[in-house]
Each structure stands twice: as structure tokens, then as C-alpha cells.
């Protein structure tokens, strides 16, 4: 599903963010990636999203070497990888339904499919009754649920969540992680970058710790 073979990333200023990392994440796994600020974990998640390309090494996702993708192939690749951000990144001038539907309109999904799929995904994240609400009318936890629905709506095989609980209180953070766990149990591979050690300990999943550009620890959960 996700394989990194001897991946390094050096920025133009000469700063080496990742140094010869090799990892394998199997289909259906739930994996946490942790590390201090500047450890390289943010670079790693950007490489998996193909926001960046590695300086050296190979990144295989869904059987494809993504560093070899042509620019016109990138949108299709990203449709198969749902991304959830810390700051939600919702469209403030559109309601919940339109925020989620937008992700389908971008890929020119048929109107009939949008009308069927969006309510279904909103029901999965517990927001079916709030489809007409605007982001400003929602709590932080609800906004993150909308972001998760948007990431799910195009049926990705992988969800990458970058600090998804960073702007939430403890109760909402636990609810969001429970939701991501339920999504994982339906067969979606979930990779979460987080600082929240309390949640990581409670969930007992595989934890990869990045330190100064290297894999310092890789421990399985239950």
C-alpha cells in the first residue's frame, strides 16, 4: 500500500529533512507518525501527498512510484488519497453539503452520484442533520468531521491526517480519533501525524517515531 525505499529529502538551503528512510505500511493499517518539531514528519506527510518529491529513493503508493508521475497524473493520484488538515480548510462561503460536494465536482462526478454520495458520507460522520449549516455555525469538532467527510467522499484507499486534533479540545479530539478508527475498520488505510501522546497511548496502534530525519522507533500496536 505505502512503501518508502531509502528515501531522503534535502531542501535547497541544504537542510536534510529525511535521511535514508525505509518504511512499509500495509493495506488496512492504522499508523501514527510522531516526532518533535523539525524531526521530518511534516516532510514525510508532504511526500506521501506528493506536495514534495524525494531527493533520493522511491515512494510506492498503491503500486505506483509516485515520484515518476507526470503532472497531469497527479490529480488522479490525489483523488485516491484523502487528506485531513489541522486547520480544516473548509470553504467559508459554502454550507456543509457544498463543502463535501465540492470534492466530487472537482473530479466531474455525475450530479446523480453527488446527490447520493454526499448525504451518505455526512451520515457516516454524524452530520446528516447539519448539511445546510455553514462552517462558522459549527464547533471545531464538527468542522473537522466535515473535513473528514470531504476526504472520504471520493472513496480513497488511504486517509492521511496531519495533526487532525491539533485545534480541538480533549473530548472532540477523542471523538475524531474514534471516527478515524471506524473508517479504518471499514478497510481504509489511515496514517495520522500527531503530537497527542495521550491519544496514541490510548489507541494502541502502530507508532512510527521520526527523529532528526530518521526512523527512531517503529512499534506495532495490538
- What is the predicted pLDDT for the residue at 107? 87
Assess whether 215 and 196 both reside in one domain: yes
pLDDT of residue 129: 96
Q: Looking at the 3D structure of the chain, how many domains does it have?
A: 2
- Confidence (pTM): 0.91
The arrangement of strands across the sheet holding 16-25 comes to: 16-25, 2-10, 56-61, 64-65
Residue 73 lies in a domain: yes
- Give tens-digit pLDDT for 11-55: 988 899 999 999 999 999 999 999 998 899 989 999 999 989 999
CA–CA separation, 79 and 92 (whole Å): 22
Distance CA 42, CA 33 (A): 9
Cell digits of residue 60: 510506492
User: In the beta sheet, which residues pair with residue 64?
Assistant: 61
pLDDT-flagged residues of the chain (< 70): 221-222
Q: Is residue 151 part of a domain?
A: yes
Report yes or no on 145 lying in a domain.
yes
Domain limit, last residue, from 105, 127, 155: 155
Please report whether residue 85 resides in a domain.
no
Residue 54: which domain range?
Answer: 1-80+157-222
Identify the three-state secondary structure at position 65: strand
Query: Do the beta carbons of residue 118 and residue 132 sit within 8 Å?
Result: no
Q: Where are the alpha helices (DSSP H) in 153-205?
A: 170-185, 197-203
Amino acid at each position: 500500500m505505502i512503501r518508502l525505499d531509502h528515501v531522503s529529502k534535502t531542501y535547497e538551503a541544504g537542510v536534510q529533512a529525511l535521511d535514508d528512510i525505509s518504511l512499509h505500511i500495509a493495506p488496512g493499517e492504522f499508523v501514527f507518525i510522531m516526532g518533535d518539531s523539525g524531526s521530518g514528519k511534516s516532510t514525510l506527510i508532504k511526500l506521501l501527498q506528493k506536495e514534495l518529491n524525494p531527493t533520493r529513493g522511491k515512494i510506492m503508493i498503491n503500486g505506483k512510484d509516485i515520484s515518476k508521475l507526470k503532472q497531469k497524473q497527479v490529480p488522479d493520484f490525489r483523488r485516491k488519497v484523502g487528506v485531513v488538515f489541522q486547520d480544516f480548510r473548509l470553504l467559508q462561503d459554502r454550507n456543509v453539503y457544498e463543502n463535501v460536494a465540492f470534492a466530487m465536482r472537482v473530479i466531474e462526478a455525475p450530479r446523480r452520484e453527488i446527490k447520493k454520495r454526499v448525504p451518505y458520507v455526512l451520515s457516516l460522520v454524524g452530520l446528516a442533520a447539519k448539511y445546510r449549516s455553514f462552517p462558522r455555525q459549527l464547533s471545531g469538532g464538527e468542522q473537522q468531521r466535515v473535513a473528514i467527510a470531504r476526504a472520504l467522499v471520493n472513496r480513497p484507499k488511504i486517509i492521511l491526517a496531519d495533526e487532525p486534533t491539533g485545534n480541538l479540545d480533549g473530548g472532540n479530539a477523542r471523538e475524531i480519533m474514534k471516527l478515524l478508527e471506524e473508517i479504518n475498520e471499514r478497510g481504509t488505510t489511515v496514517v495520522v501525524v500527531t503530537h497527542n501522546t495521550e491519544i496514541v497511548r490510548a489507541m494502541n496502534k502502530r507508532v512510527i517515531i521520526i527523529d532528526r530525519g530518521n526512523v527512531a522507533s517503529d512499534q506495532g500496536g495490538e
